[in-house]
Every structure is written in structure tokens, then in C-alpha cells.
Structure 1
Amino acid sequence: MRRLLLAAFTCGMFSAAYAELATQPATQPAPIRIAMIEGMSGAFANAGEAVQRNLLLAIDGVNARGGVRLKDGRHKLVLSIIDNKQAIEESLIALRQVTDQHIPFVVQGNSSAVAAGLIEAINRHNERAPDNRVLFLNYSAVDPVLTNEKCSFWHFRFDANTDMRMQALTDVIRGDSRASKVYLIGQDYSFGRQVAKAARTQLADKRPDISIVGDELHPIGKIKDFAPYAAKIKAAGADTVITGNWGNDLTLLVKAAKESGMNLKFYTFYGNGLGAPAAIGDAGVGRVRAVAEWHPNVGGVASDQFYQSFRDRYPQPKDDYVHLRMRVMIAMLATALERAGSTDAAAVARALEGARFGNGFHDATMRAADHQLIQPLYVSVMQKQGDGGVRFDNEGSGYGFKTERYLPAQATALPTSCVMTRH
């Protein structure tokens, strides 16, 4: 090795890669690579950056324990990030880079349309190249079809799907006697359409007295001024808005509603971060709700320690958007790798099926039938920091969220239509 390195140096070919190799112990196992295909530029770059922070912290936690133990020793996890510009075609190009480099694991989530495209492409690739198969771990793409009609042995979802999240929100709306006129607004792609469909179906069942006074989809990531949409909501006489909007599409929507002077209730999927609490301000106190698998004011020593570990790593308020599900995903992957004793995608998939997770404040199970994680959900309501036990605010805004409704895991599970071909 020394002679080879010396020769390479003499020929002017001594790269940083060779230098790194020279300093590594000869017996250190190769790292296990995970490719993150996500929008890291454009309108939703802030959402991609939030994912990156959460994944890196989760990976650091595994590596701090020595990495993943396989037969040949402990392997560190390494994250490779590919910007897909939030586009399906760019994502498929990124997937080809992944397979060319023999990276066994892909993670993605900030678009159900992209996730659907990746599932189809990975299914075809794994059929053609059984010696280079890929496993897809999904942390946020929540269109129900991904674990129903389009379910795949090679895909696992670690977030509650749209119907599960909407079930939690409409359970709260059912008890809200002041909700009478609901406006549905969302992004015009598969996820946004599914949110509207789920809201209509579930409200008709739980609150048939409620009127749907608006049902509108807008281009995703392209609207810079939501004032015209706020005007429509106001003209419709709505008292309640249901939206699955995320990223800047949510922040700009709630900002426009605030500036219009409306006193609305917002029932959201993602209203607890990425600038939304600061944008809506005092108008959101007691009126903006979000649904998630966890939030910082859940309480308890273990939950507080989890949140504090994130804040210690990322102390800037702008970086304060914490996803428990990403920590769950990486922890479950590491355990499945050790159980499988291999990085083979099929072996790891089998180890994930039926796997359980518990960390002292959150328990979850990966349902084998459709590869949907079954976990508790919280509906939380926005409050000023310091009020009603709200110790932690979001992103330095002075506003945090307080639990309004807790749904245990068994209450969030919904039937699946998945018919899966196993490998």
C-alpha cells in the first residue's frame, strides 16, 4: 500500500481520497451509505435542509455507539445528499446515480409524487438487478396509495399517511361546536388532492352539519402572494381552514390570512414549523392546530432529552424544526441491518417487517402487511410560550404548541388494501 501511494504521489495523482485511505485503519469496514434524494434548492429548500439536519443527528447517534455491527465489524453510516429540485425526472436521474454507486438505501419524503415515481423505478430496477437492489425509506410522503394500491416490498413509510393524520384532525373538529364553514385549500398534486378528499369524506361522517364553502388547489411552490386566496376564503365566510400545505406554501398562506384580518382556525398537517408560527403570530393562539407524531412540549424526561439533544446540535432558532420520525427511521434501519447481518435490501426489508421501536416516550411498529409505521399521533394547538405549560417555542417565535388530543398507536391504524409481492 505504501509503495502504491508513493507511486501515485510521484505521478501527481495523489488525491484527497488516497490521503484519507492512508490514515484509515486497514481493517475498518466500509461505511454503509444512505442516499437522500430531496429538494435542496428552490422554493422548498428550507424543508430539505430541515430533513438534512434531522437525518445527520440521527446518523451521528448511531455512529457514536460505534456504528452498525455486522459480521466483519462495525460500520459507520454515511449520508449522501442529492438535490432533486423537487422534480420527478431529477429524482429518477438521482436514483440512477445511486444504483451506479451501489448505494443500498434511499431516503426521501418531501413529495408524494416524487415518492410514487421512485417506488415504480425501484421496483423495475430491483427486478432487473437482483445483485444491486435498493430499499426505499420514506419519512414524509403521506399519500395513502403508497402503502395501498402502490404498496411495494421495497418501500417503507415512517410517517402517518394522509388519512391517518386527517382522522386525528377531524376527531378534534368533531368536538369543535364553533366550526361550521370549512374552506379546503392545498397544493395541486397527489398529496394535496388526497388531503381534500380525506377531509370531505371524514367530515361528512363525523360532522355532516358542516358546510364545505371552498375547495381549492393551487400550483405547488409557485405562489408568491396568497392574498387573492385569502380574499376568497374571506368572501366564502369560512371560519375554519383545513390544509396540508407545507414549506413556504403554508407560511405564505397563513401570513396572508393574518394580514386580511380574518379570525380563522387553521387545522394543518405542518403548521408547527418552517416559519408558520412566526408568520401568523398572536392570531394563531388557540386557533392554529397541527398533527404530528410528537412535538417538543409532549413532556417527560426522555422527550425533553431528545429535544435538548437537537437544540444542542442546532442552537440557531431558524434551524429548530425537529422530526422524531427521522430518528425512528434511522434507529429502526440500524437495528434491521444488525438483525439481517447484511446490507442486502431484501434481508433488511424482512428484518424491518413487524419491527418495533421504543425510546421511553414513543412506541411504534412497522406493519408487515403494507410497510406502514403504526405510531401515536398528537393534535396540538398553538399557544404563547409560557402559557399552559408551553415551555418550548418553535424557531424562536415566542409561540409553541400544547397537546390538545393524543391518539395512541392503535387508534391511528387504518385498514390497508395492499396486496404485496414479497421477495
Structure 2
Amino acid sequence: MFAKKMLCNATAAVLCFSFLFSATTQAAPADKEPVTIAIIDPLTGPMAGVGLPLVAHMKFEAERLNAEGGMNGHPFRIVGLDNKVSPQESLVQLQKAADDGIRYIVQGNGSSVGSALISAIDKHNRRNPGEEMLYLNHGAVDPVLTNERCSFWHFRFDAGSDMKMNALTNWIQGQKDIKKVYLINQDYSFGHSVSQMARDMLKEKRPDIEIVGNDFHPLAKVKDFTPYATKIKASGADAIISGNWGQDMVLLAKTLADFGVDAPFLTYYAGSPGTVTQVGERGVDHIYQIYAYYGDTEDPEIGQRQKDMYEQTDWDYFLFYPRLTTMMEMLKKAADQVQSVDPVKIAFAMEGLSVDMDTGTYTMRKEDHQVQQPMVLSVMKGDMPYGAEGTDYNFAKVALIPAAEVAMPTTCKMRRPRQD
């Protein structure tokens, strides 16, 4: 079983790590060497609330998939490496993983970190033939990472922020009562790309909409969003758009609720752990999320996973990280097809590979290694069949957007190694 939830801080870090990583996930049926996957994401500090459920989700799914044979008979083994959302610390942790012979790296919280990992893994693989590493990106969604920064060694299993904004603005296009939009985002590459794409796409699809605010705030440093909420309420905005995640999402959502801002809050990551419990009833019919999954699934197997994972870990299955399930299913399918766990063979096998998930088919586009997927616009509701965070609140489906309507073109010019 996994550790019960705790948000690590400096004084509790040793205790937290001793519980969370005291035992790695073991295989049920196999006696082959495990395939170790290192997660390089925040596991202490203000953003630990997005890193710890990530580890729990991957261990939860590893147990299930190991019982089904793992990767070509090799069990998944999950370890966590704390990067504190720092590109520099991430490179330190990447070197530790390389020194330990780990060849699969998972990261997704922070596109600045993702950019640093792409460069470092590209360099490592050029210098160390036969010891190549793969970067499995679960959520660093700046479009640049699959365009001009694209790499053969990088695969993204979440929709790019341009894909999400395309889907979101397609929905806004039909909402004629939205005439004023306020933008608020984290002040780094991802937040700026969300802002720019919102402005560009709204100008094209709804030129009558007025952007009444465009704020940026420091990543993971704002403790009081009152000044921002005051401006948003005074602006008379009919809708607010934000790509915020983690603590920045939770605190912003709570402050808007405290100020009685009832305009639709259109988000990428309202499912960040803590949002549901912080806003409760005040979020119903107000907080939206554009994401791949939703809380009122009709698939009893997925519903059971939600119940089981929360019972075992205190973290929710489909509130924030179901994309990890897609990633692990695709890794397993690729390994089983090529009968190997070698990262180079796995990389070639994943190009163009599709897996069927409960919301539709997910395909890894060969041209840029960006997964092509449907998206779901959902809104927070009460009395849900599968509640989140121990409540009866979750996100209910408003619209399912097919993959073809989510897709965006790529400018990637990928260089591939020779295939044996």
C-alpha cells in the first residue's frame, strides 16, 4: 500500500520520504529485472501537492499493470526524486538517475523544467550510446516543447496548452453571453503562452470579446491572491481564464470564491489537489476544467479505480493524473510489441502507437511525439457518483471535444537515430 497523504515541508521531509518511498512497487507475475522509472517533480515545499499524488498514481497503476505482466514481463518500479520545481535541481536529480542506470524519466510540473530536461537528455544520449534515456512528459505543455524544441527522446502524454486553448475557445465561441474575459497566469514560459494563445484565438474566433485584464504572478510564491481577485471583480469580467496549477490554482480559486466572483472560471488545472475542498459548494457551476477526463464516468472499472485509489492513498484517481495511466498503458503496449524494454526500441515503437482509454483513442503522433487525444470540458458539481477528496463534489462533463477538433499543427523537424 501507499503512504497516506501528507504535504511535505522542510521539517517533515525526511519522515515523508521514509513513508512514501520505503518500498518500491513489486511485480506480481514476473521474475525479470524491473524497469525503473524515476519521477523528477516537486515532492517537498509549496508544490508538493502536485508531486506526491503523481507518485501515488504511478505506483497504483504499476501494481495493476505488473499483475498483467508489466513491460514485456519486466515489472514497473517507481522512484521519486524531488526537484522543488527548479530546473537546476532537476538536472542534479537527472544525473543521479543516470548514475543509477535509470533510463526512463517522468516529469511534467513546469515547462521550464521540461525544456532543461530535453537539452540534458539529448546531450546525455549523444555522449552515451547504448545508455539512452527517454523523457516521458506528463504535463509540461508549452507548445515549444513539441515544436522548435522537439526531440526524438521526448514524448508528451498531455495535450499541449495550444490544444487545450483551441478546445476551450471553440466552446467560448458559442457562449454569446461572454463578452469580457480576464486572463491570469503564472509568470513563466507556460503562463505567457497560455495568455498569448487566449488572446490570439479569441481574436480570431470571437473578435467582439474584450480582454479586460492580463495579469502574471510569480510561480509558487503568492500567498495572498486578494489584490488579483479585487481587480478581477472590479473588471466586470464575464469569464476568467487561467492555466494555473498546484498551490497557485488552489489559492486563486479559493480567493475568487471568497470574493464572490461568480463568473465562469475557465481553467486548465482546477483538478489540482485541494481545489475541491477549498471551494466546496461555491465552486458548483462556476469552476470549469478543460482536461482529458471527468468525474461522472459511466465506466464502472474506472469508477472502481477512483474508489480504490482514494481508499489506499487518500489521493484521487481521475481528478488530476489519469494521463499517467495513458502513458503507462502505452509503455506496456510498446514493450510487449517489440519484446524489449530498451528505450530506443520503445521510442520507435511508440511513434504512431494508439491506446484506447475510456474517453477515446489516444495516438502518439510520429512527427512531434505529441499525443493526439479528445478533451473534455467539465464543470464542478455536487452529488457526484464518484466524489473527489472525500467529498461528493467532482467535475461533470459539459462537452466532449473529439481529437480531430483538438489537434494543432506542428513545426517540429525531428532528427531520429538510425534504427537497427
Normalised by the size of structure 1, how large is the TM-score?
0.88
Partner of 2:96: 97
Q: Which residue of 1 aligns with 2:64?
A: 61
1:66-98 Cα distance to aligned partner (Å, 9 max, x none): 3222xxxx2111011101111001100111111
> Which residues of structure 1 form unaligned runs of 5+?
1-19
The DSSP-based 3-state class of the residue aligned with 1:220 is: coil
8 A Cα contact 1:35 1:103, kept in partner: yes
Q: Corresponding residue for 1:76?
A: 75
User: Among 300, 303, 306, which residue is 1:307 paired with?
Assistant: 303
User: Aligned to 1:319, what secondary structure does the other structure show?
Assistant: coil
Name the larger-Rg structure.
1
Amino acid at match of 1:380: S
- Is the aligned partner of 1:255 residue 2:254? yes
Aligned-partner Cα distance in 2 for 1:207–1:186: 21
1:208-251 residue CA offsets vs partner (Å, 9 max, x unmatched): 11110110110010111111111111222222110001111111
Pairs within 5 Å for 1:407-422: 407-422=401-416
Counterparts of 1:358 and 1:296 in 2: how far apart (Å)?
A: 18
Aligned residues: 388
Distance 1:130 1:308, change over 3 A: same
For the residue of structure 2 that corresponds to 1:85, the secondary structure is: coil
Question: What do residues 362-381 of structure 1 show as CA deviations (whole Å, max 9, x unaligned)?
Answer: 31111000001011100011
Aligned to 1:49: 52
Distance in structure 1 (CA, Å) of the matches to 2:166 and 2:340:
38
Unmatched segments (≥5 aa) in structure 2: 1-22
Give the corresponding residue for 1:320: 316
Cα deviations across residues 170-226 of structure 1 (Å, max 9, x unaligned)?
122112222111110011111111110111011111111111011011001011111
Contact in 2 for aligned 1:284/1:382 (Cα 8 Å): yes
Contact map agreement 1:170 1:206 (CA 8 A) in 2:
yes
Instruction: Please list the CA deviations of residues 323-349 of structure 1 after superposition, one character each: whole Å capped at 9, or x if unmatched.
Output: 221111011111212223333222110
- Contact 2:303–2:386 (Cα < 8 Å) also in 1: no
Which residue pairs with 2:278 in the alignment? 279
Contact 1:57 1:310 (C-alpha < 8 Å) held by counterparts:
no
State the one-letter code of the partner of 2:133: V
Q: Is the 8 A contact 1:66 1:75 kept in 2?
A: yes
Partner residue, 2:356:
358
Q: Is 1:296–1:304's contact at 8 Å kept on the other side of the alignment?
A: no
Q: For 1:344 and 1:90, how far apart are their aligned partners in 2?
A: 27
Give yes or no for contact 1:33–1:77 (8 Å, CA) kept in 2: yes
Deviates more, 1:412-421 or 1:53-62: 53-62
- Give how far 1:119 is off: 0.3
1:233 and 1:28 map into 2 onto residues whose CA distance is: 58
2: CA distance, partners of 1:36 / 1:288:
30
1:273 and 1:394 in contact (8 A); partners too: no
Note closer, same or farther for the CA distance 1:247–1:316 as it changes in structure 2 (3 Å cut). farther
- Taking the aligned partners of 1:360 and 1:96, their CA distance within structure 2 comes to 37
Q: Which amino acid aligns with 2:352?
A: G
- Partner residue of 1:235? 234
- Distance of aligned partners of 1:207 and 1:194 in 2 relative to their CA distance in 1, 3 Å threshold: same
Q: Counterpart of 1:343 in 2: which secondary structure?
A: coil
2:46 alignment partner, SS class: helix
Match of 1:343 among 324, 330, 341: 341
Q: What amino acid maps onto 2:188 in structure 1? A: Y
Correspondences of 1:156-167 after superposition (within 5 Å)? 156-167=155-166
Distance in 2 of aligned mates of 1:237 and 1:384 = 27
Amino acid at match of 2:46: A
Q: TM-score, normalised by structure 2?
A: 0.89
Which of 370, 374, 377 aligns to 1:379? It is 377
Q: Is the 8 A contact 2:185 2:243 kept in 1?
A: yes
Structure 1 counterpart SS, 2:94: helix
| Residue 359 to residue 236, structure 1, CA distance change in 2 (3 Å) | closer
Cα distance, 1:359 vs structure 2: 4.1
Deviates more, 1:254-263 or 1:147-156: 254-263
Sequence identity percentage: 41
Cα distance in 1, alignment partners of residues 279 and 300 from structure 2: 26
> Distance in 1 between the 2:55 and 2:313 partners?
16
Question: Which piece of structure 1 moves more, 27-36 or 131-140?
Answer: 27-36
